[in-house]
Amino acid sequence: MGYTHYWENPDGFTTEEWNGIIEDVNKLLSSLPSYNPVNRDGPLVVDDRNGGPPVVNREEIRFNGGGGVELSHETFHLKSSRVEFDFCKTARKPYDIAVQGVLLIAKHWKPELYVSSDGNRNEWEFARELVEKVLGYSPDLTFLRED
Mean pLDDT (whole number) for 110-128: 94
Q: How far apart are CA 113 and CA 38, in angstroms?
A: 26
* pLDDT more than 70, % of the chain: 83
Q: How far apart are CA 54 and CA 33, in angstroms?
A: 13
Q: How confident is the model at residue 40 (pLDDT cuts 50, 70, 90)?
A: very low
- Neighbouring C-alpha atoms within 13 Å toward the C-beta of 57: 5
Q: How far apart are CA 53 and CA 132, in angstroms?
A: 23
Q: How far apart are CA 122 and CA 4, in angstroms?
A: 15
Give residue-wise pLDDT tens across range 43-93: 566 766 666 678 899 999 998 887 666 778 889 999 999 999 999 999 998
Give residue-wise pLDDT tens across range 102-115: 999 999 999 999 99
pTM: 0.90
- Looking at 7-16, 26-35, 47-56, 117-126, which range is the least confident one? 47-56
- Whole-number pLDDT of residue 6: 97
Average pLDDT, the chain: 87
**Sequence spans of domains, the chain:** 4-135
